[in-house]
Structure 1
């Protein structure tokens, strides 16, 4: 099967798996087909799936990743102050590093809103449905919601990176408190400690807690840079830290803080 055939096959399998979406017509254009496939993957609950589905899904997602382009994070130039730190503007799901960081919610099983623009949705969509299954198993064993400021490690499945670090950042309601600042720093520290403890030497961070969690961008970046620098001063295991941004405004903030 080519990519179009695999995409349509996956859509039909998901519709069969979730009959409530069976009446949806498969669009004619590739982009609309991709949106429908992603939407169905987003809303699918964590439940067993056939090996046949996983094989076709994995082949499809890995080829899509190749076609979108993969950036080797280890080749990114370092900043002047510390060559281990890099700044990169782009799609974090395209980065090939040891682990990328997912700004998750407390349920830790991904975003269920079809094609939502959050990083949680993107990471789960391009990793494949196995990621939700692994996260669900982790949370069932834990027995409670994920606390703010901690980190969980999972495989990355069809992403170019090897692992995903999931962390829940503080949600800002009103003014930023000292506790909010401390919890955000804990997110970065926990991710680094978890990575190092598992032999991961390169990590790409998104802008945790900004966006829908409403942490102001510059203070969040200041905390991120300070926490990472403090960790690198004491721990030599990390060889590459990438601050990944998506907006020009965040790029300017990090350029100012890192150079």
Structure 2
């Protein structure tokens, strides 16, 4: 199947499952980029229903090709920062990282972002992994029987991502000033992810900037908590050999460089967001 055929096939099945979106979908232009955006939106909207084998085969082929086109980044090959031999700092799209696990800043439903093509990391990770990720999260939440508490972690497969696993954690939502409870909850997110990764014998974990986006935790304070919690954890015996601080925005890259004593690259220009 050619790329456009794959997209058309997937959109057709999703619109069969969700006919309430057919009228809106018909307004999308017929070019490949617009139809691919429609596909992402429909995937974001789809509830965790049973998945057809033929849909999954085409979806996985499409997502795998897109993964290779974006370029996979080997987390093990990232250089360590000068201040700590087991820490790395990398600016870019976390869905490109080939690590044992990447961390997703989830919401308490733990099913991904249902807002079509939203810019949050939850949406990005679910969109790149495929619909199997929402299905696995749904099974975990059904077994749990209640919303995911702040500061805990759950592990799922990575599916079409380069990462083997995804660690899902719900960070604190800041209303007004940051409280002591907010700080403790954010530190718990990092500890819980590392503890669960170590329980499973994982060697590399890539953290996003938990709670700093939609949840409004101040970036600088969040970076300080992240760095202290991770370095404290790595003082103890653990399977984890490398922790990557993955940043996307320049503001976070600059904050982490300052905390880690790393120079700003000479070629650094405006960041991706």
TM-score, structure 1 as length reference: 0.98
- Structure 1 unaligned segments of length 5 or more: list them: none
Q: Give the Cα separation in 2 of the matches to 1:19 and 1:251.
A: 43
In the alignment, the residues of structure 1 paired with residue 248 and residue 56 of structure 2 have an alpha-carbon distance, to the nearest angstrom, of 30
2:2 paired residue number: 2
- Specify the alignment match of 1:107 in structure 2: 109
Q: What is the correspondence of 1:221-236 to structure 2 with a 5 Å cutoff?
A: 221-236=223-238
Report the Cα offset of residue 27 of structure 1.
Answer: 2.9
Q: 2:58 aligns with which of 56, 68, 71?
A: 56
Q: Distance in 1 between matches of 2:29 and 2:66?
A: 18
Q: Distance in 2 between matches of 1:214 and 1:85?
A: 25
* Whole-angstrom CA distance in 2 between matches of 1:112 and 1:59: 23
Query: Alignment partner for residue 165 of structure 1, among 159, 164, 167?
Result: 167
2:177 is aligned to 175
Give, in angstroms, the shift of residue 28 of structure 1: 2.4
The residue number in structure 1 matching 2:89 is: 87
Find out whether 1:41 has 2:43 as its counterpart: yes
Report the equivalent of 2:132: 130
The one-character-per-residue Cα deviations of 1:74-99 (angstroms, maximum 9, x if unpaired) are: 11100012121000000001100000
Large movers: runs of 4+ above 4 Å? none
Residue 250 of structure 1 corresponds to which residue in structure 2?
A: 252
SS in 1 for 2:47: coil
The two structures, once aligned, show a CA RMSD in angstroms of: 0.9
- Partner SS state of residue 212, structure 1: coil
Q: Deviations over 1:114-141 (max 9, x none)?
A: 0000000010111000000000010000
